[in-house]
A = this chain, B = another copy of it.
Amino acid sequence: MSVVDGHREPRRAPEGARTRAFEEVLDRIEERIAAGGLTVGDRLPGERQLAEELRVSRSSVREALRALATLGVVSSQAGRGPDAGAVLTSRPDSALTELLRLNLSLSTLTMREVVDTRLMIEQWAAARAAGDGGAALDEMARAVAAMDAAATPEEFVAHDIAFHMALAAASGNRLTSAIMRALRDAVRRYAVDAVRRLGDTADLQADHRRILDAVRARDAEAATAAVAEHLARAYPS
């Protein structure tokens, strides 16, 4: 490219649009999703085609797609065939997890705030689980048994997360479940360290069984109380 070649257009149209190119791409893709009835599983056009259609460079398209991928809305796959390219997905968990981890690192969030939020969600979910049928009981019981058999803190925490996620999922609300998942994943390392430091997990398991029994007995009051006691033990103020 020489010094004096024609750069198509000055891109400084008089309308004074202050949006950056990749933001324009972002808006257009969101338009297609909102209006075009695109849904999870559908494919977006390839990066080169998108660049040509929107009259921007492929780099700008890629930055827009990177933003959407960060939010867990698209997932890119190289190669050829029906599964290749940018596919619409819905993985809000990882985005939320990153968001929490980074804000904890930056000290714009404290563990206390994270744990309090978890308590809020889990009490709310426990009350709903106790009220409604209790479809999560089997999975929660399985998780408790798996924790009994866990050989390492990592294993214990993995099944602990499964237990509490089953409780959260019982609310039937995918948003609170996603937030709950992100909360647990963001502080997973802390949890493992706490279990290792604790050594004995008998008290925690007793709490789990109390929560399980309360939900099984459809006792919302007892369930929320048990959750509160459990978190107070696991994360002392």
The answer to whether A106 touches B90, judged by C-beta atoms less than 8 angstroms apart, is yes
The answer to whether A175 touches B121, judged by C-beta atoms less than 8 angstroms apart, is no
Interface residues on A, range: 35 or more
Query: What's the Cα separation between A90 and B106 when bound, in Å?
Result: 8
The answer to whether B88 touches A106, judged by C-beta atoms less than 8 angstroms apart, is yes
- Identical copies of this chain, number: 2
Query: What's the Cα separation between A114 and B99 when bound, in Å?
Result: 19
Query: Would A108 and B90 be within 8 Å (CB), given that A66-B66, A120-B176, A175-B114 are in contact?
Result: yes
The answer to whether B99 touches A173, judged by C-beta atoms less than 8 angstroms apart, is no
Any B CB within 8 A of the CB of A145: no
The answer to whether A40 touches B108, judged by C-beta atoms less than 8 angstroms apart, is yes
Query: What's the Cα separation between A134 and B71 when bound, in Å?
Result: 36
The answer to whether B106 touches A39, judged by C-beta atoms less than 8 angstroms apart, is yes
Closest 8 CB pairs of A and B: A90-B108, A67-B70, A70-B70, A34-B105, A113-B175, A120-B124, A63-B66, A113-B173
